[in-house]
Amino acid sequence: MLKVEKISFGYTSKEVLKNISFTIEKGSYIAIVGESGCGKSTLLEIIYGLLHIDQGAVFWNKQKLLGPKFHLIPGEDFMKYLPQDFDLMPYISVEENIGKHISSLDPKKLQRIKQLLKVVDMSSFLKTKVKNLSGGQKQRVAIAKVLAKEPEVLLLDEPFSHIDNFRKNKLRRSLFKHLRSKNITCIVATHDTTDALSFADEIIVLKNGRIKAKGTPEAIYNNPKSDYVGSFFNEINKIPVHEIVLNSTSKKTILCYPNELKFSQKSAIQATVISSYYKGNHYLIEAKLINTIVFFEHTTSIKEDSKICLELSKNITLP
């Protein structure tokens, strides 16, 4: 089990992380999401042992991990960290880059390299020099490289940021299936909500260095604690109650996703259409209530300036 306990950290007097605590069981996967600059990468570097902390601690199986002040070479042997810069050697082949992390005495070395390249869908690039690869291909080789030593803990910082969308989903499924099969604990810092919702056991949402939400993907998505949390997973409507309930003087608001606000033939909630955006299997309609812009899903586009009625999904409870 990996345990992060009351970590606070700042590069200057201003703290980047503030009182961060969580635990992750062996073989589990935690996704850390949050806006740029919220401390995601810094947290991974602290866990790996690249940054020294004076407040808080990191434990692996109840043993406290010591930071860079206590190691000649920063980092932990049982842990691998993949930063956003890949850290590959450009003038040697893909095979050699991965092979450097597998013992030359391993009789199945080449077989293991080929297996890892299959995981990241790079089998045909075994002999290609890294300098001749695209950014997305380099990122996939970098993923294979950190898997080569079969670490107990894997830390990934935006691992799919350079990879084409059409290939990304297949790679995600292949990678996380491999991690499960090897019982590798994984922490991913990501902006991509598919990484979190589809594969994570738990999601941690950071804002300004603090944990704003923590829980299973289902719990975080279905009950966002704020519009900030909900906005990472979909468009989020924050609607004042007095704009949707006649004669209400309430100052409270409700949160709902576009699929929870629907077109209605007759309703007390009236709006004016601003724009329609084609999304493939539906249109996302932008409309205005009294003073609030909202988004809802519809099967067709709706003409601009149309006066329409809306209704809330039955699972939305008014305060």
Tens of pLDDT, residues 237-254: 999 999 998 888 899 999
303 with 190, same domain: the answer is no
Task: Taking residues 181-198, report their average pLDDT.
Answer: 90
CATH number at residue 183: 3.40.50.300
Checking if the pLDDT of 41 tops 90, the result is yes
Say if 68 falls within a structural domain: yes
197 with 282, same domain: the answer is no
pLDDT value of position 173: 92
185 with 289, same domain: the answer is no
Phi, psi dihedral angles at 117 (to 5 degrees): -65, -30
Q: Which residue has the tokens 């291909």?
A: 137
Domain limits at 94? 2-228
CB atoms within 10 A of CB 163: 22
Q: What whole-number distance in Å separates Cα of residue 131 and Cα of residue 221?
A: 41
Q: Which of 228, 255, 273 is the last residue of a domain?
A: 228
pLDDT in tens, 251-281: 999 999 999 999 999 888 999 999 999 999 9
Nearest to 119 by CA among 146, 97, 87: 146
Q: What whole-number distance in Å separates Cα of residue 231 and Cα of residue 237?
A: 9
Q: What whole-number distance in Å separates Cα of residue 253 and Cα of residue 319?
A: 8
Domain count for the chain, please give it. 2
Please answer whether residues 8 and 58 qualify as being in contact, where contact means their C-beta atoms are separated by less than 8 angstroms.
Answer: no
Please answer whether residues 136 and 113 qualify as being in contact, where contact means their C-beta atoms are separated by less than 8 angstroms.
Answer: no
Mean model confidence pLDDT for the chain: 93
Please answer whether residues 161 and 138 qualify as being in contact, where contact means their C-beta atoms are separated by less than 8 angstroms.
Answer: no
- Residue 268 in tokens: 């007390």
92 with 192, same domain: the answer is yes
108 with 197, same domain: the answer is yes
Task: Name the band, by pLDDT with cuts 50, 70 and 90, for residue 45.
Answer: very high
pLDDT value of position 70: 81
32 with 157, same domain: the answer is yes
List C-alpha distances in Å: 276 to 189, 284, 311: 33, 6, 18
By residue count, the chain amounts to 319
Nearest to 180 by CA among 200, 207, 160, 157: 200
Checking if the pLDDT of 315 tops 90, the result is no
24 with 95, same domain: the answer is yes
27 with 64, same domain: the answer is yes
Checking if the pLDDT of 139 tops 90, the result is yes
Which three-class secondary structure state does DSSP give residue 297?
Answer: strand
214 with 257, same domain: the answer is no
